[in-house]
Structures are given as C-alpha cells and as structure tokens.
Amino acid sequence: MSVIRDKIDQIKFRVLSPSVVKSMSVVKVVNPELYDADGYPIDGGLMDLRMGVISPGMRCRTCGERVKECPGHFGYIKLARPVIHIFYVKWIYKLLKSTCRECGRLLLSSEELEKVKAELDSDLDTSELVSEAKKKKLVSRASSRKKCYYCDAKKKRVRLNKPYTFYYGKKKLTPIDVREWLERIRDEDLGVTSFNPLAGRPEWMVLTLVPVPPVTVRPSITLESGTKSEDDLTHKLGDLVRANQRLYENLSAGAPEIIIDDLWDLLQYHVTTLFKNNVSQIPPARHRSGRPLKTLAARIKSKQGRFRKNLAGKRVDFSARSVISPDPFIKINEVGIPRLMAFELTIPERVTEWNINWLKNFIKNGPTKYPGANYVITPEGKRKKISEETMEVILEELGVGYVVERHLLNGDPVIFNRQPSLHRMSMMVHKTRILPHKTLRLNLCVCPPYNADFDGDEMNLHLPQLPEARAESQILLDVNNHLVSPRYGLPIIGFINDHILGAYLLTQEGVTLSREEAMDLLFSVGISDLPDKKELTGREVFSQLLPDGFDFELKSRDGNHIKIRDGVLESGFLNKKSLGAGSGLLIQYLFRDFGQSVAIDFINKATVLFIKYLQRAGVTVSPSDSDLPRKGEQKIRNIINYYTSKVDGLIEDYKKDKIKAYPGKTKRETLEFKVLASLS
C-alpha cells in the first residue's frame, strides 16, 4: 500500500449518489446469514470475504492482502422499496414545501427568480452568510405560495408527521412519491436555495441503496468458548437485510398492500436506526440482551465518540496520574513521586566518556532495583531490555553513543498538572522527590495556583525526555518563575490555613520562647546562629527569616500595625492579608525589593517554621464554639413568625374567597403561586 503524503486543505461532505454507492462496492449483500455450518463466511452475507478479512491466516478476496494490510471494502444492499434518509428529513421538508408537486418548479415568479439570481451573482465576493440568509428568506417566501406560476396547479399544504412521514393535503406521500417529486426539481431552481446542485441531487436523500461498511470497521470477537460475538453494526445490518429480503419475497409473491406497507415501514425503521438509534418517537433497536445497539451516529458523536475519545484525546507515554496528598516538608518547587512510579518513568541518557561509569551503575541495578534502568538503545537504534541474562553482555558492549533509559531520579524536572488547566500556572515544572507510598505529594503553598485540595483530587505528571525539552520546560514552567499571578499582580503562591494560624500565634504580643525552643524551631529551617539572648520573643524568631535591610509597613482597620525595620519585626502580628495566597503583601514586597530567590527561600523556610510552631501551640475548639448567640436565635424566630403570619393571611383570604384567580389558573393554583412569591 502506498502512503499519501499530501496535506489536506479542506474536506467537503456530500450526499452519496446510488451510482457512487454501487461503484465503490465490491459485494451486493443479499443474505442475512453470516457463516455456513463450518463457520466460514457466506458469499453475499455480511461477513463476505470480499469486504475484507478480520481473522488471521485468511486473505481478502478483493485485494488479496491479509489482516491489517487489507483496508476493507464496502458492499451495498439494494432496497426493495426506497426509504427516507433520517438525517435529510428537514431538507426534504423544505424542498417539498417550496416547490410545485406537478412540475417541480420553485414557487417564485420568473421575475423574482431573475432578480434574485442577479443579486446573488453580484454578491459573490461578499460574505457567504449574507447570501445564505437571502436564500433562506426566499425559500420561506416560496413556501407560502398557494399556486404554481408555471403550470397553474394549486399547491396544497405539505405536512411532516415526525419522524419521517410526509402528507400532501390529506394524502400520505410514500418515499416513492417523495423521490419522484424531488426528481422533478430543476438544478437551476436549486441554485437559489441553500441546496447546492453541484453537491448532489435532492432525490438522493431518499435511499434506494444502503452502503454496507467494511468488515474491518465492525470486527467480530471470538470468545474463549469459541463462539463468535458480532459487532452492533453487523447485528443491525443483519436485521436490515432480513427485512429487505422479506419485502422482496412478498412483492414478487403479489402479497396484499397492507402487508407490503407494514414490511416497508419495518424496512424504513431498520434503515433509520442503522444511521441513528435514538430518534424520538420511535423505539431504539435493541440487542437480544435488551441493550440498545450502538449504531453509526453514536460511534461518531458525543464524548465517547470517535472525535472526542480517539482523535482529539489520546493517551501519552512518559506520564503518570495519581491521587495527591499534602507534604509540608518538601519544597514548593518539588513534587513527591511514589517509588513505584519511578520504576516505570524513565529518562533517556546518552552515554559519553564522562558519564559512562555513572550510567553503568544503573544498568547493574537493572529494572527491579532502584535506581536502575529498563532499556538501552544501541547507536544503530536497537532496543535491548535489561535483565539478569542480558546484563553482562550489555555492560560489556556499552560505549559512547549508546542511550540508557534510566529510572527517574531526585531533581529531574517533571511537568505537574491539575485539570481543569485554566491558566498557565495549571502546568508547572517541579523537581522530583522520590518518596515511599502511592500518592503524588505537593507542598501546600502550591495548592492555590492548581486550585487543588485533598478530598480525592488527582493530578498528572509528564516527563520531558530530551535535554532540550528538559531545559526549556525548566526555564519556562519552573514553579519559582510563577510566584506572582499575571491576573492581579500579587503572589498566587503563598501561605494558607495552618501556616497563617501558626504565623498569627507566633507573632502575638508577649509570646516568648526559651533559647532551646527557639534553637529547635530555627534549626529545622536551617538557621543555626541566634541572637545572644536567654529568651527570644516570637517576633524575634520570625525575624531571623527576613533579610537585612528589609522594610515593610502595613496598617489595618482592626488596629494591627505591622512594622518591619531592617529585617526585624518590631510590632504587629502576621495575618492573611500580609501572608496569604492571593493577597500576601509581605511576600510581594520581598519579591519586589530582593528578587525571586529571596522570596522563594522565605516561603520555603517560613512554611516549616509556622507549622512547627503550630504543632507546639495548638488550638482548641469545643462544640459550644458553634452555639448560636441569644440575639441571633431571636432574630431567626422573628423572621419565621413574620412569614408564617403572612402566609396565614393568604390562606385566610383564600378560605373567605377573597383571592382573585390569575388568568388561566384556578384559585387554588393562584394561592400557591402567591405563597411561593411571598416566600422567595
């Protein structure tokens, strides 16, 4: 098979003509049976070998190729009587309404037609929408005419009884009537409707042939027991062929008209449900088990259809997904990755004379010991799996130019993502931290940009593979480069919940810590030299995190006055306004005056300090904290009393017959309406 390398410029969809259906087909399907007694596909059946092969070892009788090589070929079913194509009912209805049944002309005078044609010609370079709107108006004008301009015939009303039965006046139109009518419409008249005569003839919207899709798009599955399970489409087509053959037999036997009409209706039903199995007004075709069949339209549209499931969305390699959980002791630009995942997620590393010994260690560990490697790729591009048996040979032959696919290591950049990906901070690069257990872990400060919490949220990882991608992603997406939100210019990565509570308690007036306590706290964030004092205040402890020369002031309405002079917190306590994500002015000023790395360093250290302090401080909550105050209780009671009396009044009026009914409503309905209105 040759490969087509042209680029597609545009695709146009048109109605298939019966002659095209026939010419693209290789089989006329006439037999509803699939296999003979030996399990071999029957000639003229739905699994006919000329329509392609699906079982290994067999050859297609059209192209001679085997499974996977043969693309499959269409067949067709010749319908005993024509039927309406369900997807074109609207178009047929429009054309029937606007044309004459006798001569097929559009119901417009020749002057009108000439005028419109001239207008449309001069419109050629204006918008397609404009001429489309004109055409629409024209067709609706033609639909209102009561008489033909050309043959003087009187036009009766055309009615559509959904889903697909047409009436002309009182007479029911059979698909044959409809088809003949559509045949009479001239191409030149179609030119002024939205129906493009170059795209096809309107009578093709009434089917005489049905294309049978190749076997390859509706493969059967052989179960363990050896029985074959057929695709829904094959089931549906089988019913169609069966109904069609019965109609043929009855027609040639000269059966009474009632029987013919019933069978014709059944044929119409099967063709309709082949295209679309959820037409309102008619019951869906079902499998023997009672499950509705999945036919053509359902295969293409909706979330589970071909476009959204298979074409727009694809699975990718080098990615992972798991539940997330918090870890306050990793840095904000780190992500905790389960060791289990690290065995599967690999990075290709090219062997040079400088790293060959380092890489050999990974190969020695193999795929089962961390940190190891799963594959090597030779300079010729051959993949070799590392295992107990192959390890010796691979270690022997490994040289410059080989590629080793090693396990993920601490510090590798990975892209971390939480859906919905609404802004650029929804995908950021974190540095790997390989940890035990099975969840992905992140620092609480990066919850706001991802909008993540831990009630079962899952997040995704993607590993940039090549050095260029690793470098680029790190430069563009690193968490540290996304401290400030582009939306409102304040830090989006900041302190939340427990951090703020810890900070609040630590910086209260009168909080003192012994030198040992302060030392313990600060050592956990990597600070070892303290002011030479026996006792430190909470503010002094906090000040150790601030750089010298940092000045900051923030007054708030509750009287809190935060004052930082030369990196020392002199007064005030820290709160959400100064530290929180989305507001954090203190972080903002640090970022502005000292740069990104100082701000990041502050956040990393302060989170640990605040949480460590909160662990020893503690906060108590008791049930009585949620008790309603007396005043509130009274207020609620007053509101309830007010509305109760209001509704009572309405009911009283109703009983005394003082309520006037609203138009079209009974008195009782009016009462209900009034009660609802007064309560909302």
- Among positions 41-70, residues that touch Zn ion (CB under 5 A) are 52, 60, 62-63, 70
- 346-350 and 171-173 beta bridge pairing: unpaired
Tell me if 345 sits within 8 A of 320, measured CB to CB.
yes
What is the nearest approach in angstroms of Zn ion to the Cβ of residue 428? 50
> What does the alpha-carbon distance between residue 432 and residue 415 come to, in Å, rounded to a whole number?
10
Closer to Zn ion by CB, 185 or 614: give it. 185
What is the nearest approach in angstroms of Zn ion to the Cβ of residue 659? 60
Binding mask 83-122 for Zn ion (x = CB under 5 A): -----------------x-xx-------------------
**Selected range binding Zn ion among 110-118, 145-153, 210-218, 663-671, rule: CB under 5 A:** 145-153
How is 614-679 classified by DSSP, letter by letter? HHHH-----GGGGPPPHHHHHHHHHHHHHHHHHHHHHHHHHHTT-PPPPTTS-HHHHHHHHHHHHH
151: contact with Zn ion by CB under 5 A: yes
What is the nearest approach in angstroms of Zn ion to the Cβ of residue 172? 21
> What does the alpha-carbon distance between residue 232 and residue 210 come to, in Å, rounded to a whole number?
17
How is 170-198 classified by DSSP, letter by letter? TEEEPHHHHHHHHHHS-HHHHTTSSS-TT
What is the nearest approach in angstroms of Zn ion to the Cβ of residue 54? 11
CA-based nearest residue to 527, from 618, 601, 446, 433:
601
Closer to Zn ion by CB, 154 or 592: give it. 154
Q: Residue 19: helix, strand or coil by DSSP?
A: helix
What is the nearest approach in angstroms of Zn ion to the Cβ of residue 475? 51
Closer to Zn ion by CB, 52 or 491: give it. 52
What is the nearest approach in angstroms of Zn ion to the Cβ of residue 233? 18
578: contact with Zn ion by CB under 5 A: no
293: contact with Zn ion by CB under 5 A: no
Closer to Zn ion by CB, 60 or 210: give it. 60
Closer to Zn ion by CB, 113 or 376: give it. 113
What is the nearest approach in angstroms of Zn ion to the Cβ of residue 25? 13
**Selected range binding Zn ion among 151-159, 320-328, 384-392, 444-452, rule: CB under 5 A:** 151-159
Residue 337: beta bridge partners?
434
What is the nearest approach in angstroms of Zn ion to the Cβ of residue 73? 5
Number of residues counted as binding Zn ion (CB under 5 A): 12
Residue 514: beta bridge partners?
535
> What does the alpha-carbon distance between residue 450 and residue 405 come to, in Å, rounded to a whole number?
31
What is the nearest approach in angstroms of Zn ion to the Cβ of residue 180? 14
Binding mask 8-47 for Zn ion (x = CB under 5 A): ----------------------------------------
Closer to Zn ion by CB, 62 or 485: give it. 62
> What does the alpha-carbon distance between residue 552 and residue 590 come to, in Å, rounded to a whole number?
9
Closer to Zn ion by CB, 70 or 142: give it. 70
Tell me if 562 sits within 8 A of 552, measured CB to CB.
yes
Identity of residue 123 = D
Closer to Zn ion by CB, 186 or 383: give it. 186
What are the residues whose beta carbons fall under 8 Å from the beta carbon of 26, sequence distance 6 or more? Answer: 50, 51, 62, 73, 74, 75
What is the nearest approach in angstroms of Zn ion to the Cβ of residue 357? 55
User: Could you give phi then psi for residue 51, rounded to 5 degrees?
Assistant: -90, 5
**Selected range binding Zn ion among 144-152, 176-184, 430-438, 547-555, rule: CB under 5 A:** 144-152
Closer to Zn ion by CB, 148 or 359: give it. 148
CA-based nearest residue to 492, from 574, 366, 580:
580
What are the residues whose beta carbons fall under 8 Å from the beta carbon of 616, sequence distance 6 or more? Answer: 517
> What does the alpha-carbon distance between residue 172 and residue 184 come to, in Å, rounded to a whole number?
19
| Residue choice 148, 345, 394, 581 for contact with Zn ion (CB under 5 A) | 148
Closer to Zn ion by CB, 53 or 243: give it. 53
What phi-psi label fits residue 628: left (phi over 0), alpha (psi between -120 and 50 degrees) or beta?
beta
Residues that bind Zn ion (CB under 5 A): 52, 60, 62-63, 70, 100, 102-103, 148, 150-151, 153
